[in-house]
Chain A
Amino acid sequence: MFGRVTYPGTYESKEHGFRIEHDGNSFVYLRENGNTVIEKHLPQHGISLVVHPVEPINLPREVTRCLEIVFPPVLMAPEAHQTIFLTFPLEYGVFLRTDEDYQLLDVFSRCIPKYSLYGTPESGVITRYHESDISHMEKEPDRTRNGILRLEIRNESRGWVEVSHAVFDSYFMPIYFDTVAGMVGEMKIYSRLMAQTNILDRKVREGMEPALPIIRARKIMNIDLERKGFLMEHGVA
């Protein structure tokens, strides 16, 4: 599902719906997308092709950098800590890779994307919206559509809080994968209205490999640190 594609050479992935064909002396990448065909001509030498899970904010086109996950409400006692397992929408990135660098070639997904507004039109943010089931132990999702998010929630307030929303910034969103894509996130709740979320540079389980991030693929030399995260100022429920 993820990993390296044999290249140079012809290839067809029925699972992902793309193929690589000979075009004279070179190769061409083809993917059918509705009524159109995405066609990109590839360099013949010195590259490899990999398919990795990427930050799920790219389709149908990028309008936001925030991912909002909505889940059944969780009640958190004052100063309590709880770990839950959620899902996130899966987007596949096809990358061209050389020894030193890599370049994004295409992104596709089996999920139907949906967007939402977190907060108000004046001060809120547009988010990529995803509804998730909740589980208290690691459960295999529909791995062609969803990845696993292990979310560690800490209620740092002195009152009970009901949580059903988490918004994450994709500028630092390390995704790991084996047969399933996974992320580890944390959420510190300061009040019913305010929480801080981060995606941590950790694996959901041992043996997972790090996915190539699109953000770096675009050469954004951003020093957004793991700790920066996203400040949810418009409520957690």
Chain B
Amino acid sequence: MAILSTLVFGEVTVLDLIIFAVITGISVLIAYVAGFYLKKGLSDNLRKDEMIKIVRFVQILIILAGIFISLPSFHVDFGELLLIGGTAGIIIGFASQRLVTNVGSGAFLMLERPMRIGDSVKIGETSGTVDDIRVLSTTVKTYEGIYVRIPNETVFTSEITNYDANVARRFEYRIRIRYSDDADHAMHIIGHLLEAHPFVLKNPGPSVYVDELGENGIILMARIWAPSSEWWSVRTEMLGKIKTTLEKEGIEIPVPQRVVWFAEKTGAKEENISS
């Protein structure tokens, strides 16, 4: 038992170290268990990103509480600790500027909230779904399923396009039909198809109109609003339906064509030259 009272440094004994390790270990264990039960209880009730934030916050609180409880075993003078902590903070800050910049950027990103976990975004050249926003970095899962880690400093200074920030978004189709087809009938068919789709919003409603009298056909424009979470599925579904329905109604998408005229007199002139 003498070994327990052996001094390790200052007034701290082996027993103090064991007490610290045990209390901290228990608090980590409690945090883990609490996190598990919180996730289980909240997964039906909250969005994933909000749930993760709450779970992490509670876990950090529990671990900090454990460390705080175990600190007296080190006979810590909190005044000294603050002084040491402050000085160490400055030194570490200078030594790890990039790290601190990333942490600062992460904090500002969390405050400004230009995106949330699960949003479809484009950060600089990277497009995908936000997988996680951490203290040092943001992870994005690209549409090809590739994991990309972007340092928060880069995220903060990059242009961020968030496709899900607004509840609704607009997309459009340019549909070319032949000059011989009835444009009014084609617009009526497209309008009817759009009206029947649940996620083509009633308000703002879709608009279909003749946009251009093109070189190879009449170009119809269809502008459609859909909920941001659904727009891609609506876009892919409706384009196929429009094409099939137009074809069924005898309206076809024209292939490029050019009418070439030959002058009638050319042959006669050639005859004269040869004779």
Residues in A lying within 8 Å of B, measured CB to CB: 59-60, 63-64, 112-118, 121-122, 124-126, 129, 218-222
Contacts and interface: CB of A to CB of B under 8 A. Distances in A.
Contacts of A121: 166-169, 225
Chain B at the A interface: SS class: loop
B5 to A, nearest CB: 51
A218 B44 contact: yes
26 contacts: A63-B199, A63-B227, A63-B229, A112-B196, A114-B198, A115-B198, A115-B202, A115-B227, A116-B201, A116-B202, A116-B203, A117-B167, A117-B201, A117-B203, A118-B203, A121-B167, A121-B169, A122-B165, A122-B166, A124-B168, A126-B168, A126-B201, A126-B227, A218-B44, A220-B44, A220-B45
Interface residues of B, number: 18
B230 interface: yes
B202 A126 contact: no
Nearest to A220: B45
- Mostly, the A contact residues are loop
Nearest to B197: A114
Contacts of A118: 203
Nearest to B230: A63
A42 to B, nearest CB: 22
Contacts of B201: 115-117, 126
A117 B203 CA distance: 6
A117 B168 contact: yes
Interface of B: 44-45, 165-169, 196, 198-199, 201-204, 225, 227, 229-230
Contacts of A220: 44-45
Contact of B227 (A59, A64, A113, A221): A64
Q: Across the A-B interface, give the 3 residue pairs with the lowest CB-CB distance, nearest first.
A: A116-B202, A121-B166, A113-B198
Contacts of B167: 117, 121, 124-126
Contacts of B168: 117, 121, 124, 126
Nearest to A119: B167
Contact of A219 (B44, B169, B203): B44
Q: Which of A112, A124, A125, A126 has the most CB of B within 10 A?
A: A126
Given A122-B166, A126-B168, A221-B45, A117 B225 contact: yes
A113 B202 CA distance: 11
B264 to A, nearest CB: 59
B196 A129 contact: no
A220 B203 CA distance: 30
A187 B116 CA distance: 33
Contacts of A63: 199, 227, 229-230
Contacts of A113: 198
A112 B192 CA distance: 14
Nearest to B42: A221
Contacts of A129: 202-203
A220 to B, nearest CB: 5
Nearest to A125: B167
Nearest to B167: A126
Nearest to B169: A121
A114 B234 CA distance: 13
A121 B203 CA distance: 11
A121 B168 CA distance: 5
Contacts of A60: 198
